[in-house]
């Protein structure tokens, strides 16, 4: 198959696969059963979507099988965005990542709905009604946490702030984007999809008074523990506040300017958090070549 189309297919498939694996790590650990089923079901959907995309790539001749693509590549051959591989940390962090990813995925499904890549459009038509449940789930938790008790609101906004820069990089243009534009595979350029997504995220954040998430990203606080007036220990020194890289407010709108933080996922550059995930995800395939399950 066309190499440029393969880079697009793998970027989307790997995003879904890695997101599915991360969400699946919650199975059995969520504090109540309904939410356990929700995260597990979303994980199952995402892995199902990845499987369908890998099968398409394999059918078009990119690999001998879907499994060879899903599990038979080196870590630096995966093309997902770094955001997707971030470990779950706490529930607020997981929901922040889930919200940022699934809202971006929604924009991407829309942006590619008129693509000249017919087989991909067919799959997306089948994915979209399923993905709608994911964004409803993410938005439900968004408002519950953003409007929730102080601790929930604090943890959630800190998580959003720390992930915002890498979420922007979900829309990092693909290395082959120019040729994908020319043949109509990508009728809407990544940069334009990013603009649409940022507008939506800005609206969501503003409606809960969380716009500061766009202005600054938090770095873990470094300092000694000191007692406060209530007797509780608190970390001294404010958490370092840095600008979220890559975005800027212009004429009342948040827009992308310049580069991408954590860029390179689309070219196979990943964070240290991907190595253990890759190790686990591909273990069976590597240990027992040719195994079926």
Partner 1 sequence: MRSALDGVMDPEIPACSITDLGMVERIKVTSEVLEVDLLPTFVGCPATDMIRRDVEKALKAIAGDAPVIVRFVWDPPWTTDRITPEGRKAMSGFGIAPPLLQIAVPCPYCGSRETFIESEFGPTPCRTIRYCRSCSNPFEGFKRKE
Q: Which of 60, 75, 113, 130 binds partner 1 (CB under 8 A)?
A: 130
Q: Which of 5, 21, 49, 155 binds partner 1 (CB under 8 A)?
A: 49
The verdict on 137 binding partner 1 (CB under 8 A) reads yes
Q: How many CB atoms lie within 10 A of CB 2?
A: 16
Q: Which of 77, 116, 136, 221 binds partner 1 (CB under 8 A)?
A: 136
The verdict on 168 binding partner 1 (CB under 8 A) reads no
Helices (H), the chain: 3-24, 33-59, 66-71, 82-85, 91-111, 118-146, 150-168, 177-182, 190-207, 212-215, 274-287
| Candidate ranges 47-55, 107-115, 211-219, 267-275; the one touching partner 1 (CB under 8 A) | 47-55
Distance of closest approach, residue 158 Cβ to partner 1, in angstroms: 27
Q: Which of 114, 125, 207, 257 binds partner 1 (CB under 8 A)?
A: 125
Distance of closest approach, residue 44 Cβ to partner 1, in angstroms: 4
C-alpha 148/C-alpha 193 separation (Å) is 30
Output 116 or 257, the one with its CB closest to partner 1. Answer: 116
Q: With beta carbons less than 8 A apart as the criterion, state whether 27 and 40 touch.
A: yes
- Count, residues in the chain: 293
Output 134 or 270, the one with its CB closest to partner 1. Answer: 134
C-alpha 26/C-alpha 248 separation (Å) is 35
Residue 169: both structure tokens together: 């990089």
The verdict on 22 binding partner 1 (CB under 8 A) reads no
The verdict on 28 binding partner 1 (CB under 8 A) reads no
Size of the site for partner 1 (CB under 8 A): 26
Half-sphere exposure of 103 (CA within 13 A, CB side): 24
Distance of closest approach, residue 136 Cβ to partner 1, in angstroms: 7
Name the CA radius of gyration of the chain, rounded: 20
Distance of closest approach, residue 128 Cβ to partner 1, in angstroms: 9
| Candidate ranges 21-29, 32-40, 62-70, 226-234; the one touching partner 1 (CB under 8 A) | 32-40
Q: Which of 15, 46, 67, 102 binds partner 1 (CB under 8 A)?
A: 46
Output 52 or 75, the one with its CB closest to partner 1. Answer: 52
Q: How many CB atoms lie within 10 A of CB 109?
A: 18
Q: How many CB atoms lie within 10 A of CB 198?
A: 22
**How far is CA 84 from each of CA 3, 13, 35, rounded to the nearest angstrom?**
23, 12, 20
**How far is CA 14 from each of CA 58, 80, 205, 265, rounded to the nearest angstrom?**
14, 5, 28, 10
The verdict on 44 binding partner 1 (CB under 8 A) reads yes
What residues line the site for partner 1 (CB under 8 A)?
Answer: 34-35, 37-38, 40-42, 44-49, 51-52, 119, 122-123, 125-127, 129-130, 133, 136-137
């Amino acid at each position: 198959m066309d190499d440029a189309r393969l880079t697009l297919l793998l970027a989307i498939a790997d995003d879904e696969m890695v997101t599915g694996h991360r969400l699946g790590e919650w199975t059995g650990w969520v504090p109540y059963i309904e939410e356990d089923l929700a995260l597990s079901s979303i994980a199952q959907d995402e892995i199902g979507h990845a499987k369908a995309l890998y099968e398409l790539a394999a059918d078009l001749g990119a690999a001998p099988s879907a499994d060879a693509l899903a599990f038979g590549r080196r870590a630096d051959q995966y093309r997902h965005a770094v955001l997707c591989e971030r470990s779950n940390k706490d529930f607020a962090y997981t929901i922040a990542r889930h919200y940022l990813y699934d809202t971006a995925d929604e924009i991407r499904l829309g942006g590619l709905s008129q693509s000249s890549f017919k087989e991909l459009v067919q799959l997306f038509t089948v994915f979209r009604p399923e993905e709608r449940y994911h964004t409803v789930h993410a938005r439900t938790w968004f408002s519950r946490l953003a409007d929730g008790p102080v601790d929930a609101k604090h943890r959630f906004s800190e998580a959003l702030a720390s992930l915002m820069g890498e979420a922007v990089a979900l829309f990092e243009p693909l290395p082959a984007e120019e040729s994908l534009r020319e043949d109509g595979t990508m009728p809407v350029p990544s940069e334009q999809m990013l603009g649409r997504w940022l507008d939506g995220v800005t609206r969501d954040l503003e409606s809960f008074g969380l716009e500061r998430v766009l202005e600054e990203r938090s770095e873990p606080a470094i300092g000694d523990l000191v007692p406060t007036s209530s007797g509780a220990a608190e970390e001294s020194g404010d958490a370092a506040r840095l600008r979220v890289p890559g975005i800027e407010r212009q004429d009342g709108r948040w827009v992308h300017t310049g580069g991408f933080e954590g860029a390179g996922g689309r070219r196979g550059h990943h964070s240290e958090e991907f190595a253990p995930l890759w190790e686990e995800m591909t273990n069976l395939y590597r240990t027992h070549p040719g195994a079926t399950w």
